[in-house]
Structure 1
Amino acid sequence: MAQLTPYPPHDRQGRRRSSAASVRQTVTIILPEGTEPAGTLPEGCTGSVTCTVPAGWRPRDKHSVELSVKIRSDAPYGQKLTGGSVTLSRPAGDPDPADNSAELVLTTTVAVLSDLEIRATAPTSMTLGTHGVLTFEVVDLGPTDTLEDGQVELTVPGHVTVSKLPSGCTAGGKRIICSPPAGLKAEQHAELPVPVLLNPDAPESTDLPGDATVSLSSDPEPGNDTTDYAITTGLARSDLGVKVPGTSLTAGPR
């Protein structure tokens, strides 16, 4: 929040004389590095960020500009964010322009909060004996980028064989463990495609259930860390053909 106070000009003896601000003023706010405006700008403010203060405020009155600020997800933690300032345009007759500008500094906390969510997409009406892909999506809902490796645990349904493991994953029975590396940006996602084979002996027209879980020590919301999914099987497919036994024919007169 920036507060502006109109100090009256001095008389010839150096004493301040009461005077109202006769013209409107312009306040220019430069936000510190690693920040950006958030939400709706205050009334009278535009762009990034210039605010207009109406004329008529009396000496010692204060005019406040409250601006919501978002610290970017890649900003350094536990440090001062510098480079910001608040500057008031100098009106005619201002005897002391030295106090028309102030430094604007913010300090980030050391808390790192990355809310990860796991999503799963499975094939539907998958024909027995065919190949398909299970797709798992790890989403960083923010507010910060991940600064540590996460862990994803996948349960593959029965009657399903994994054709190829994604990079960085290991398997043990029906369990697959993957380690998404640090650096996932807030509000972005990473995909883990898992090619699978639906075994020919799988039951027809059935939902084969599985589940997936993502974990991260700095995750503040565990409620979206697990999801269930199912592969829906179709019918068995048989490639039928017709074979005619060979017949010997002898040519001769009719």
Structure 2
Amino acid sequence: MKKKILLVFMVSMLFAGVVSAASIWGTYKGNQIIRITSNGVPLQTPDVPAISFNGRTMIPINLLGQLGVGYTWDSKNQTVDVKINQYPNSAPNNSSDQRMKENVIIANNFKSLEDLGNTISLLSNGYSLAYQSIDMNYKVYETLTDANKKLNSTIDMYNSTQKNLTSPIYSNILNEYFKALDSFKKTDTAISKFANSKSKTDFDNYLNNSKDGTTTSSMARFQAGQEYRKYIYSVINR
């Protein structure tokens, strides 16, 4: 399920959207999304994903085109003619080349996710500097503002990424980044309050949320790195 994070400015705002518990891959128009793989490699979903409907797995026929299933559509008679093991638009050896190109694209997408995870994790550094400024009572407003700007910039990066990477294979990592950014939004609010209150409660909220954001984003970043290496190795070892 797509989620869009709104910008914050020294305030705490709730994230919009809830991940469906009905399927680990999310839902499509109320139906569980089913992940389709070939030899362990996920097929790419161009628009409509495979779904579970009335206990059956429904797979869009254009998705099977990645496996060499050719078809023609007769709109007049509302009929689809299927040709198994045919390559209507390319020779069989070109299908392998197409799969390699797709794996390169997937690998690059996971690399982008890994880089995004690193950017999210580094948000904790900005808030650590803000705490030090509060502790020394030196340029407090400037460091808080800088940390907040970096948070909003990272949120923009996340929103752009989740808009472009709509395939279910990226959803788990994006969901974890969503949670991490939520923690850093709470971090932002807590440390801003701490700058005025100097209370232990606000300090603990700042520290705990910063830790949660860093841990969550780091684990998801590690997963993205693993997926990147898996796909890039499949290309190298082809």
- Range of TM-score over shorter length: under 0.3
| Greater helix content | 2
| Greater strand content | 1
The alignment's TM-score, normalised by the length of structure 2, stands at: 0.22
Higher Rg: 1
The alignment's TM-score, normalised by the length of structure 1, stands at: 0.21
